[in-house]
Structures are given as structure tokens and as C-alpha cells.
Amino acid sequence: MRRIWTAGCVVLLSAALLAGCNTSKKAAEATTEAKADAMNITVDYGKGINEDGTLADVTPSDYVTLCDYKGIKIDKGDISASDDEVQQQIDSLMASYQTTKEIKDRAVKDGDTVNIDYTGKVDGKEFEGGSAKGFDLTIGSGTFIDTFEEQLTGHNPGETVEVKVTFPEDYQAKDLAGKEAVFTTVINYIGEKEDAKLTDDFVKENFKDTYGFTSVKDMKKQIKENMENNKKNDYVWNYLMENSKFKDIPKELVDIRVDVVMDGLKSEIAMQGYKLEDYMSSYGYKDEQAMRDAYYDTCENTVKTYLLADAIAKEQNLSVTEEDVKNYFNGQDYSSYVDTYSKNYINRAVLNSIVVDSVIEQAKIK
């Protein structure tokens, strides 16, 4: 299935940057409250978009003068995918099928990922959020405070280590800041990743239904073709953006796309179990307006690409048909995407695809 084109509109939350003592009752309550908030957030991806996928209430020629896009010359070297790039994509797919081998017959060394249970105490008393079981910690990552990780090196799985540390003076939990603590830590095992073996049978079993790959050779061939198609698309969009001329884009057009980004972000943050204030604090935004400002330029570029596509579609008499949408999804049922993104937004994505394919067909690749 071809990916829905959502430039500037997909923002993923890194939970690790916001993670705190998630074993605490307070954090659990915050998570429940945040997820409840997510249920009340509606993301209208089709906002400001007509049913046919074009921008609503806009005449593209008022804001963009198209460059000469017919017969664009493209150097084949600019759109070729190397064997290394193909292999990187394969490695990325295969990473999901790694298994962990539990090593218990040697000492822990720097760079190892160890699975541990720990209980933290300050002044002999356990403190909230200071205990965990089955936690994977990479030695040398700096994930834990002070010299916690270093004190595990040289010890073997099965050992219990009394790890002594001091919390930083500026530690976020004020009641722990500057305090000495002891973590009773059990090293369960050292985890070593093992890659799955890439064979024709493995490809058919794990990738045929999702990607259509039928063998290792077919997998490499399709990945290379997809990467080169993506490079062609990127080349064309960049060419159009750099060589066409734009007048000032009305703020109200951009604000609509910013609204979509913000609503999507709020929903994602809430579904991760956090509040918007947590996210803003972690990324240094002083308020919601500062966040909107941060996304403005990206959303303005999104509007420009919409204007380019609409202008070319009008000039070339291109429009979205139901057959186009089915082809976009490789004939698969796409009703769930309509439920999430709306038919208007789906048609927007398909229209962009039709336009860029038309420009590529007219291009001269040397």
C-alpha cells in the first residue's frame, strides 16, 4: 500500500523524553486523565479541503506561478538507490524480528544491555517510583543517574549488587534532590540480540501479506523500485517548489494546517498518557502559541505543495476517480483510512500522487 502523503501533519511523541516515575499512583492517575482527554479530541484532517481533494475557497493561480514542469531533466544518479540503501531498508524491516538471547555465563561489560530488578531506598526507606522489575538497561547509555550503570560492570547475572548513588541537586523530584540512595539490584541476564535469518521461506511467511514480497530477490527488487520512486517524487516536488514563484500565502490558509497538526499532536500526546503541558515543558515551548509558531513554516510549505498540485491538476485536467483511490491502496479496503482521515483528505493525498506521477511521466531521465 502506498503511504498517505501527510507532509507536516504527522507528529509522533517520544514517550522516553517524558517518562518519569511511571510506577507511581500520581503518574497512573495522570495517564488515565490524559487518555480520557484524548477521547474528546477530534482531528479533522479534511479541514479546508474540498471533496475532490483540492484546497477549499482558493484559486491556485492567485498564489503560485508554475515553472516549466514539462520535460524536467533528471539525472539518473539523483534518483538511484544504492545496494547499501536497499540493505539498510531490509535491516530496518528485519530488526522487528530480532530475538533476545539471555546470557548468564559471563560478567557485565560496557555496552551490554542487562535485564535487572531494583529497589531504591533513601535513609533506609523505599521511595515512590524507585523500584522496577525486568528493566532493560544499556550500560554506558547514561540512562540512570550518577554511577549506577558503571557499578554493575564486572558482576555476573544472578548476583545482587548494592548500587550507591547520589541524586543531582537539580533533580526533578525535589524530595530526592541531593540525597544519597541505595538500589538493591538483581542482574537477571545480559541480553544479546540475534538476527533472524533472511531466507525465501522467511520472506514469504512474514512479508508476503503486508508487502507482497515473495522471495529475497523479489524483496530487494521491490524495495529498490519503491526507494527510487520515492526519490523521483522528492526530486519533482523539490524542483517545483524551488522553481515556481509564490506570492505571500494568506495566514488563514496556513493556520488551518497548523490546526490539524496541533489537534493531531494533542491527541497523540494524550493517547501516550501525557498532558500537553508535559510535552511543552520537555521541548522547551513556553506556551501553545510558541508550538504553533514552530510548526508554521512547515505547514506553509504544505499549503504551497497543495497549491502546486491544484494548479497543475487544473492545467492538465487531472482529477481523482474512485479507480485512482483503489489503485492508491493497491485494491485493498481503505475504509479505515477514510474513518481516520476523511475522504476529502484521502482524495488530497491521491491528487498529489496523480500530479507528481504525471510530471514524472513527462520528465526526461538521463
- Express each pLDDT in 345-364 by its tens digit: 999 999 999 999 999 999 99
Cα dist. 310→6, 142, 240, 314 in Å?
16, 50, 13, 6
User: CA triplet 264, 237, 350: central angle to 5 degrees?
Assistant: 55
Which distant-in-sequence residues (6+ apart) come within 8 Å of 23 by Cβ?
A: 128, 129, 131, 132
Let me know if residue 232 belongs to a domain: yes
Question: Is 0.75 surpassed by the pTM of this model?
Answer: no
Let me know if residue 126 belongs to a domain: yes
Contact, 139 vs 109, CB < 8 A?
yes
Q: Looking up cell 554511577, which residue turns up?
A: 147
Contact, 355 vs 315, CB < 8 A?
no
Q: pLDDT tens across 104-115, in order?
A: 999 999 999 999
Task: Check whether residue 207 and residue 72 sit in a common domain.
Answer: yes
Q: pLDDT tens across 242-272, in order?
A: 999 999 999 999 999 999 999 999 999 988 8
Task: Check whether residue 90 and residue 221 sit in a common domain.
Answer: yes
Task: Check whether residue 115 and residue 238 sit in a common domain.
Answer: no
Cα dist. 88→84, 92, 310, 317 in Å?
6, 6, 35, 39
Cα dist. 26→29, 127, 128, 358 in Å?
5, 13, 10, 55
Strands 180-194 and 160-166: antiparallel
Let me know if residue 9 belongs to a domain: no
Pairwise CA distance, residues 110 & 154, whole Å: 9
The domain tally of the chain equals 2
Average pLDDT of the residues in 196-218: 94
Task: Check whether residue 75 and residue 180 sit in a common domain.
Answer: no
Percent of the chain scoring above 90 in pLDDT? 76
Task: Check whether residue 220 and residue 334 sit in a common domain.
Answer: yes
Query: Is it the case that residue 214 has pLDDT exceeding 90?
Result: yes
Question: Residue 184 is inside which H or E element, if any?
Answer: strand 180-194
Is 302 in a helix, a strand, or coil? helix
* Inter-helix orientation angle 276-283/288-316, to 10°: 90
Residue at a domain's end among 170, 194, 218: 194
Contact, 74 vs 235, CB < 8 A?
yes
Cα dist. 327→187, 310, 324, 332, 344 in Å?
53, 20, 5, 8, 17
Residue at a domain's end among 171, 194, 217: 194
User: What's phi and psi for 12, nearest 5 deg?
Assistant: -100, 140
- What pLDDT, on the 0 to 100 scale, is given for residue 1? 34
Cβ-based burial of 333 (10 A; exposed 0-12, middle 13-18, buried ≥19):
exposed
Q: pLDDT tens across 10-65, in order?
A: 332 222 222 223 333 333 344 445 444 545 678 999 999 999 999 999 999 999 99
Let me know if residue 7 belongs to a domain: no
Task: Check whether residue 108 and residue 160 sit in a common domain.
Answer: yes
Chain centre to alpha carbon of residue 249: 28
**What grid cell was written down for 306?**
497543495
**What grid cell was written down for 179?**
540525597
Contact, 118 vs 184, CB < 8 A?
yes
Residue at a domain's end among 147, 163, 194: 194
Let me know if residue 5 belongs to a domain: no
Which distant-in-sequence residues (6+ apart) come within 8 Å of 45 by Cβ?
A: 6, 9, 260, 264, 340, 341, 342, 344, 345
Task: Check whether residue 246 and residue 336 sit in a common domain.
Answer: yes
**Mean pLDDT over each residue of the chain, to the nearest integer:** 88
The whole domain housing 244 covers: 15-94+200-365
Task: Check whether residue 164 and residue 292 sit in a common domain.
Answer: no
Paired residues of 191 in beta bridges:
102, 113
List of E strands, 51-124: 64-65, 73-74, 99-103, 113-122
